[in-house]
Amino acid sequence: MTFAFPLPTTSQVNFTPSFSSSSAPSLPSATTTRRALLRDTLKRYKRLTPTEQYNNLPSLLSSISEYLPYLYTLDAYITSQDITPLVEFETEWRAVLSRRIVPTELPRIRRKGLDYEICFATATLAYLHTLRARTFLMSAIQAPPPSDSNTTSTSIHLINQAKDQILTAASIFLYLRNISTTRERGDSQPMPADVTTSMYNALWSLCLASATLLAVLKDDPYPSIVALQHDKNSKEWMYKAPTVPTRNRSLLLARLCMYSADMAGKAAAGVAATPGSGAELKAYCEDMAKTAKAKACRFLGVDAEAQGKLGEAIGWVLAGKEVLGMVVGGEGDKGKLGRGLDILKKAREERKMERAPMEALLGPDAGKLEEAMVLNELERRWKRINDSVNFQTVQSTSSLLAMLPTGRPVFPENQTWTPPKLSSSELSQLQTQAPNGGDLDWVGVDDSDDDMSPPEGSMPPGGFPRSQSTGYY
C-alpha cells in the first residue's frame, strides 16, 4: 500500500561562494555543513543491505530534518534581501523517478537555482516518510495473532502510525506542487520528471489513495489473505466468518475504496503525463487503482451476502476479479480462473526470490495478488453454498460495475506542509558567528558515483505487506 521510493543522492555543494550575508554571516557555511552531513548519510544508506536500510531510516530523517531549516531560512533571507547572491548557485541530484534508458543507474542532473535544491531535498523528506510507513506496516503484519485486545490494539496503532506518515508525505507533495506552479526556477533547461508539477500532483494523489486504503485496512472484516498464503492449512476464516459490518458500514468502506481507486487512477494519469517519467511508478499506481476498486466490489459482495442475495454477492466477486484482470467465465472455466491466479502467484514468487527476507513481506503490486486470492476463496465458498442450497442466478458483472458508488474522501485534501525555519536563538548564533569559509574537507571529497547501486535484494517499488504469521491485520 506504499510505494518504496528509491532515495536520491547528490553531489557536494558549497553555499558560501554563491551567497553572502551581513546580518547572518555564517548562515551559508552552516547550511553547507548540514547539507554535507545529509549527503554523506544518503551515500552510506545506498550501500547498506535492505534490512540495514530500514533500520537506518530514523538517522536519515534526523539528518534531513536538521538540514531543511537552514535551507529554508537561507531561501527566506534571499527573498527578504538579507542575503546577497554572488554567483549563480548550481546543485546536482540523482533523478530517481525519471525514465531509465539503460539498466545502469540514472546520472545525477545538474541545474541552476536554489529552488532545484529545495524541491529535491524536500521531496526526499516525503520519500522517507513513505518508507517509514512501510516499516510500521511490516511491524503490524509480523505481530502475533490477535489473541487478546492488546494485540489487536498494537496492530491498529502501528497501522495508524503508517497512515500518519503517508499523510505527512501527501502534505509535503502538495506543498511542492503549489510552489512549483508559483515560483520562478530561473533556468530555461527542462527539469527532470522528479521535480515537475504534474509529478508532485501525482504523488500527492497516490499518498491520499494509500492513506485511505490504510484506513480501510483497520476495518476490513476479513483476515488478510497473507495468512492463507503462508499457511496453507489455515482456512478457519472460510468456515468461521468474521463479523460482517452493517449495511451502512459496508457501503462506507466501498465508497472509501472507490475514492482510493479514483485518486490512484489520477496518480497514474499524472505520472503518464509527466515527460521522462519511469514506468515502475505508473504501473504501481495502476495496480493500486485496480486493487482498491476490487476491494469495493468485495465489500459490496459481503453486504449482498449478508442480506441473503448470494447471486449478487457472487457477481460482485466476479466483478472484482474482472477489475483485477483475471479471466472470468462460467462454471466450465474454473481451469482458466485457476491459471489466471497462478500466473499472478508465479510472477510474485519470482520477484520475491530475488529479494531479502524482510522484503519478501512486501509485494510490488499494491496488494493485487492478495485481493485476487481473497476474491477467489470467497467465490468458491459462496458458489458451493449457492449450488447446493440457494440456486440463485449470478448477476452479470457489467450490470454490477455500473452500480459502483462514488468515492468518498476520509482525509482533508488541502492540508499542506509548513517548511521548517531556524529558531530565533539559532539565528542569533548565526548572526554573531564568523563564517568558516565552507571548508568541508573533514567530510570527505569523494565525489565520484559513490552512491553505488543498492545491494542485491534491495527494496521493490512499493507493495502490499505479506505476513509469515497467521495473524490478522
The C-alpha atoms of residue 294 and residue 365 are separated, in whole angstroms, by 13
**C-alpha dihedral (27, 197, 454, 108), degrees to nearest 10:** -60
**From 244-258, 302-316, 339-353, 423-437, the region with the lowest mean pLDDT:** 339-353
Looking at per-residue pLDDT, the higher value among 401 and 151 belongs to 401
Asked whether the predicted pLDDT for residue 398 surpasses 60, the reply is yes
The C-alpha atoms of residue 394 and residue 434 are separated, in whole angstroms, by 79
| Residue 468 located in a structural domain | no
pLDDT digits (tens, 9 = 90+) for 300-319: 999 999 889 999 999 999 99
- The answer for residues whose C-beta is within 8 angstroms of residue 185's C-beta and 6 or more apart is 111, 113, 115, 116, 191
With CA atoms as reference, report the closest residue to 10 among 135, 125, 164, 121: 121
| Residue 257 located in a structural domain | yes
Looking at per-residue pLDDT, the higher value among 454 and 72 belongs to 72
DSSP states along 408-431: ---S-S--PPPPP---HHHHHHHH
DSSP states along 12-39: ---STTTEEESSSTTHHHHHHHHHHHHH
Question: What pLDDT does 243 receive?
Answer: 57
Question: What pLDDT does 239 receive?
Answer: 40
| Residue 215 located in a structural domain | yes
Confidence band for 2, pLDDT divided at 50, 70 and 90 = confident
The C-alpha atoms of residue 48 and residue 460 are separated, in whole angstroms, by 15
Grid look-up 512486501 returns 362
Confidence band for 39, pLDDT divided at 50, 70 and 90 = very high
Question: What pLDDT does 166 receive?
Answer: 97
What's the one-letter identity of residue 229? Answer: Q
Grid look-up 548540514 returns 34
| Residue 9 located in a structural domain | no
**From 54-68, 80-94, 219-233, 306-320, the region with the lowest mean pLDDT:** 219-233
The C-alpha atoms of residue 119 and residue 259 are separated, in whole angstroms, by 28
Question: What pLDDT does 444 receive?
Answer: 47
What is the β-pairing status of strands 108-112 and 90-94?
antiparallel
Confidence band for 430, pLDDT divided at 50, 70 and 90 = confident
Mean pLDDT for 403-409 is: 95
Give the chain's mean pLDDT: 81
Asked whether the predicted pLDDT for residue 394 surpasses 50, the reply is yes
Domain span at residue 330 reads 19-443
CATH of the domain at 304: 1.25.40.280
Looking at per-residue pLDDT, the higher value among 464 and 21 belongs to 21
Grid cell listed for 26: 555564517
| Residue 196 located in a structural domain | yes
How many domains does the chain fold into?
Answer: 1
Grid cell listed for 461: 517499488
The C-alpha atoms of residue 295 and residue 372 are separated, in whole angstroms, by 9
| Residue 464 located in a structural domain | no
pLDDT digits (tens, 9 = 90+) for 40-53: 999 999 999 888 99
| Residue 451 located in a structural domain | no
| Residue 14 located in a structural domain | no
